Every structure is written in C-alpha cells, then in structure tokens.
Amino acid sequence: MKPVTVVGSINLDLINYLDRWPKVGETIAVRETANSLGGKGANQAAAAALLGADVTMLGATGKDSFGADVRQQLEAKGVKTQLAEYADVSTGMAFIDVVPDGSNIIRLAGGANNSLSAGTIRENAAQIERSSVLLLQNEISLETSLEAARIARKTGVLVIMDPAPAPVPAWGPETFTCFDIMTPNAEEAGAILGTTPQTLEEAQDAARALKAQGLKGAIITMGGMGAAWAIDAETGALPAPKVKAIDTVAAGDCFNGALATRLAEGESFEAAIRFAMHAAAIATTRKGASSSLPSREEVLSFLSSTGG
C-alpha cells in the first residue's frame, strides 16, 4: 500500500457537553468538559493511521505548549508528521458544544492553520508525490490546498477534497477541476449547489451535479441515512448501519480517513464507502474528536456483524 498524505488543519479541541442548547443571553451549566487533538486534517490523519494506513500529516502549529501536545498526540496514533512551527501565532483551537442527541456547534480559531502556505507545501512536494491518496479539507487557505492538489495531480495521486466548512462563496468549476473526488455532507452540498438533499435519492442527484462541475466524482454523506455517490460512470447509495449516536464530532473526518485507507489498499469505491460508513458510525457512539476514532479490528468486526 502506498502512503496517504493529509494536508490540512490541526487544532486542540475544547469540548463542552450540554444538557440542552442555551437561549441567547442565557448562562447554563456544562455537564462535562474534555480536550483532545482535533482539526479536520489531524482527525483524518489519525483515523487513517488507526485503520492501518501509512499516513503523513503536513500542517502547522504554533511554537507553544499546545503545538507540542498535538504533535505528540498525532505521533502516538501512528501519524508521521511534517509540521511547520510559527512563533508569532498560536496553535489552532476549536470550541465545541455538544447536546445529548449528538448534534454540535463548532467555533474555530484558525491560528497557525491560517499561516500554512503554498511555499511550505512545495517544500514537502516529495511526500505528496510518493502518495496514493491526498486528503484535503477547507480549514486552511484554498491557495495552499490547490498547491497540494496541483503537485498530486502531476504524478497521478488521487485527490480527495472534503469541502468543510462549506466554501462561501461557493467554488466555481475552475476550483472543482483541481480535485478528483469531493466528499461533502448534505449541508455542504447544499451550500455549493443551492439545494440541500433530503433523501439518498436526492443525494445521488446532488453527487451527479457536483461531478458535472469537473470532478471525477462526488460522495455525499447523509449522516444516519447513509451515503450516495457518482464516480466515473457509476452511481449508487448505501444505507448507514444503525447505531446509537451520542456525538457526531469528527464522524465526517473518520469517514474520509477510512475512505482514503481502503482506496490506498486498492479497494473499489463502493467497498471503500461501505467500510468508511461503518467506521464513522462507530465514531458517533463515542465522545470527542480523535478520541472517538475506531481501530481497524473494530470496523472489520462491525462490518462482519452487519453483513457488510
């Protein structure tokens, strides 16, 4: 299996578990707090590493204690790191509120993630060029992501873009054509297309519409409903395995890390999507971001129990 490279964000997550959403101007008690490694890039890298991929993370931290902490946490999960350190900015942070049904609100302080430059990516071009899959997200500058995509595409590396947070304004065809596969959730697809899919059938239509923008294909994740895709000449949809979700933070990141892992192993898109949905489903049954990510053995066992 050739390596997976992740270019993207690294945060320290500060998580509050609430009994309910507060009203505007209201103060309520927090039931439980936690902190952990986060950032969509770091979560994707950690997910892939735990699932057996050879993963390297290209990103940035501040030259502070948080930066040292997140680097150590990445490496403890099996992720190789090539991280820029900036003395004049802090490590990125995310402030996450979660209510009992697992839904969440996230506020981001980009910090060093905003300083990760195209020049730094060029300095690490060799790592991207020897990969099989490049994973990107929208928590660093688009210019930096596009530089990584350009390097990857020159050597035939598959480029997967998770457009989260949703791009505002929506990207045009000139941006879409820099990526191979796009993996938005329903809300992100809606922000790009102007219409949010509500069913798996509508998600297939949305995937086709995204593909028509110049992509090799698109996969729309629909949470507990499942996922739908249009890739090359193939379209399809799969229902999600049933679990009791308590925290959906990082479920999408887990999906992307799992997807990249199986594609790097030579699996078909449908088989990789099925595996990724089972991995993400397990993540929703646990609290936290990187702390919720499953092992390969857990996912394979879950797949077997559901007939996958």
The answer to whether 15 and 69 have CB atoms below 8 angstroms apart is: no
Nearest to residue 252, comparing CAs of 244, 263, 266, 240? 240
> Hey, what are 65's tokens?
């204690």
Q: Is 101 annotated in the active site?
A: no
Choosing from 13, 54, 180, 253, the catalytic residue is: 253
Which DSSP symbol is given to 180? S
CA 75, distance to chain mean position in Å, is 18
Helix residue spans in the chain (DSSP H):
40-50, 65-76, 118-123, 125-129, 142-154, 173-176, 186-193, 200-211, 251-264, 269-283, 296-305
What is the spatial distance between Cα 199 and Cα 186, in angstroms, rounded to a whole number?
Answer: 9
Judge residue 51's burial from the number of C-beta atoms within 10 Å of its C-beta, 0-12 exposed, 13-18 middle, 19 or more buried: buried
DSSP line for 53-95: --EEEEEEEESSHHHHHHHHHHHHTT-EEEEEEETTSPPEEEE
Give me the half-sphere count of Cα atoms (radius 13 Å) on the Cβ side of residue 295.
4
CB contact set of 228 (below 8 Å; sequence gap of 6+): 197, 200, 201, 203, 204, 206, 207, 219, 220, 222, 235, 236, 237, 238
Judge residue 18's burial from the number of C-beta atoms within 10 Å of its C-beta, 0-12 exposed, 13-18 middle, 19 or more buried: middle
Tell me which residues are annotated as active site: 253
